[in-house]
Amino acid sequence: MPYDILNDIKKVREFYENDPLQKRFSALITGETGSGKTFLSRTCRMPVHIDSFDPGGTKCLRKLIEKGDIIADTRWENEDPYNPTVFNDWVKETDYRFEVGYFDRFGTYILDSATTFADAVMNSQLESAGIAGEMPRFRKDYNPQKVNVINRIKKFMTLECDFILTGHLDTVKDIIGNDKYGDPIFKIKYRFMTTGKAVVTIPLQFDELYVLMGKETSAGIERHLMVNSQGTYIARSRLCEEGLFDDEEDADIKGLLKKAGLSWEDKSKLELE
Domain spans of the chain? Answer: 44-206
Assess contact for 65 and 40: CB atoms under 8 A: no
Judged by DSSP in three states, 23 sits in helix
Nearest residue to 26 (alpha-carbon basis) of 52, 53, 46, 44: 44
- Profile the chain (273 residues) by mean pLDDT over runs of 10 residues: 79 78 86 85 96 92 94 95 96 97 96 94 94 89 92 93 94 78 77 83 92 78 87 87 82 94 92 75
CA distance 54 to 193: 15
How many other CB atoms are found less than 10 A from the CB of residue 25?
Answer: 24
Burial of residue 150 (CB within 10 Å: 0-12, 13-18, 19+) is: middle
pLDDT for the residue numbered 246:
86
Judged by DSSP in three states, 108 sits in strand
Beta bridge partners of 50: 72, 110
pLDDT for the residue numbered 195:
80
Instruction: Mark out the alpha helices in the chain (DSSP H runs).
Output: 5-18, 62-67, 86-100, 114-128, 138-156, 198-204, 253-260
pLDDT for the residue numbered 252:
95
pLDDT for the residue numbered 29:
96
pLDDT for the residue numbered 41:
94
CA distance 235 to 223: 16
pLDDT for the residue numbered 2:
73
pLDDT for the residue numbered 214:
79
DSSP secondary structure of 178-233: E-TTS-EEEEEEEEE--STTHHHHHHHT-SEEEEEEEEEETTEEEEEEE-SEESSS
pLDDT for the residue numbered 20:
67
pLDDT for the residue numbered 123:
95
Nearest residue to 262 (alpha-carbon basis) of 164, 160, 165, 166: 160
Assess contact for 254 and 44: CB atoms under 8 A: yes
pLDDT for the residue numbered 21:
67
